[in-house]
Structure 1
């Protein structure tokens, strides 16, 4: 077995860098974690770099490697998530590095918090097969070695996964322009503390889901209903202005959202909107500092809460 020369190794590095966005996107959708996905991609490179022979297809080889690593990580992560304090949400992703304009809508939908939470219902193998097949269009001959099952078994896994996803996915449609317009109206009403304005934009059964992981104060773990959600948001969010907290419009997991920062620009959290049929169906808020480090320097949520209480007291 001969060693590769320097030129070939350089080509191998270039191949990996070209495929890195795809590998990360696969790993993130399987894991729901930016940090774990990045680690899976790095481990894939180490295995590729030291693989003794040149694979016939770098894409097939690396996709299989990152999938197997992600499956193993997910199996252990599920044990930790069962002990998680409060509601577990995926780590927010502000930019998906894998850009395919022809399939941007499908890729955005597969990134949403709602879709990732549905994927949590699947077994690790079902989740991996669904992501490879339904999101990235891999054929079963490529999927089978990636998950260590026969093609026939992978077809069965795909059918079960699609059934679970379709049963849980609400049948609501919204194009990008509708989402953005509705989000702009929502955040304007939010900044103004306009209960009526918020209420009319929310679906009757809207869910407000918060993830603080026990490590930061949060609005609520799970509140359901337009009136309850509107009143809670209108009462709480404008108070953040008292301590110069800002809401900056950003796409979060492929959907309209905001990045919430303190007066020093440190990250407090993210909020993402799930829109359909002209209404906001769900609001997902992540303030767990452990899930925000990849976004930027993270603020001390507890200190901010104390500052807000003091600002309210001074205001009278």
Structure 2
């Protein structure tokens, strides 16, 4: 098998590792490309191509994450990962673990250091042996075991347990989007946890909520008011899994991507609603809408109704 064929066979795994460390589609793709350049430029063939490439993409991703964290400290408003609609790495035996590890909630655990995140991803998500993890991150196996213990503790403390039954989750999301489409405030409120949060990532480059909206009544009222107005100006949405959780892509009248929405579901209720409207984070999904223009149209539609 040629180098190109070996690499392309492992590309889905490499991207999935990089995305889970970085939370960015663009940065993950760049890390994979840099990994290829290192592999292609190597004069010798490694004993295990998978181990070599996995280690390379992990080290590159750790370096990128360290510098990215400095930039994120200056980010305007909440920072969310770039939405991922489908994970290229598919393993039916790990379906639940893979979906959980790519969720917004899991990727937002900034308390994990870059090394802790890398060790957790390699060992807990992709089941690498400790000697492989150690080689990838440049630490001893014993040190990696300690890093994993700390990472697990952080993950268990900060990450919600999502609804295990995908069918129940799908049915709840269907009811949510039906109520959203019709502006049914009472119907929305019944699906929301009492302490639900609605929060958006605009990055200062698109209209967004001034602050998170808290509580079932407040969130239901905002959603039940805004989205019927958006439908009046021909904004549509299509339910879609976003980061392994129920969600949707919203589009303007020209079919351009306006924003994504993802739902965290726990105990039969929606706990968190996250929207990503920063245009810099949507380009990989297709042509991006002018969110400011849509916002002006929504405000005009509201004035016409009053």
Q: With structure 2 as the length reference, what TM-score do the two structures score?
A: 0.97
Q: CA deviation at 1:315?
A: 4.1
Matched residue, 1:137? 127
Residue of 194, 199, 203 corresponding to 2:193: 203
Say whether residues 1:193 and 2:183 are aligned partners.
yes
Gaps of 5+ in 2: none
Deviates more, 1:24-33 or 1:205-214: 205-214
Matched residue, 2:248? 258
- For 1:141 and 1:202, locate their aligned partners in 2 and report how far apart those are by CA, in whole Å: 45
Q: CA deviation at 1:302?
A: 0.5
- Secondary structure of the 2:283 match is coil
Q: With structure 1 as the length reference, what TM-score do the two structures score?
A: 0.94
Residue of 105, 110, 122 corresponding to 1:114: 105
- For 1:112 and 1:62, locate their aligned partners in 2 and report how far apart those are by CA, in whole Å: 24
Say whether residues 1:235 and 2:225 are aligned partners.
yes
Q: CA deviation at 1:276?
A: 1.3
Q: Compared with structure 1, are the counterparts of its residues 220 and 143 closer, same or farther at alpha carbon in structure 2 (3 Å cutoff)?
A: same
- For 1:184 and 1:131, locate their aligned partners in 2 and report how far apart those are by CA, in whole Å: 31
- For 2:49 and 2:294, locate their aligned partners in 1 and report how far apart those are by CA, in whole Å: 48
Residue of 209, 219, 225 corresponding to 2:215: 225
Could you tell me whether the CA contact under 8 Å between 2:233 and 2:253 is conserved in 1?
yes
Matched residue, 1:105? 96
- For 2:121 and 2:207, locate their aligned partners in 1 and report how far apart those are by CA, in whole Å: 33
Q: CA deviation at 1:191?
A: 1.0
Say whether residues 1:19 and 2:10 are aligned partners.
yes
Q: Compared with structure 1, are the counterparts of its residues 36 and 171 closer, same or farther at alpha carbon in structure 2 (3 Å cutoff)?
A: closer
Q: Compared with structure 1, are the counterparts of its residues 62 and 217 closer, same or farther at alpha carbon in structure 2 (3 Å cutoff)?
A: same
List structure 1 segments (4+ residues) > 6 angstroms apart after TM superposition: none
Matched residue, 2:237? 247
Q: CA deviation at 1:310?
A: 2.2
Gaps of 5+ in 1: 1-9
Q: CA deviation at 1:312?
A: 2.9
Say whether residues 1:213 and 2:203 are aligned partners.
yes
Residue of 21, 24, 28 corresponding to 1:37: 28
Q: CA deviation at 1:171?
A: 4.3
Residue of 87, 96, 99 corresponding to 1:96: 87
Deviates more, 1:122-131 or 1:109-118: 109-118
Q: Compared with structure 1, are the counterparts of its residues 157 and 18 closer, same or farther at alpha carbon in structure 2 (3 Å cutoff)?
A: same
Q: CA deviation at 1:169?
A: 2.1
Written as runs of structure 1 = structure 2, the 5 A alignment for 1:150-165 is 150-165=140-155
- For 1:179 and 1:216, locate their aligned partners in 2 and report how far apart those are by CA, in whole Å: 30
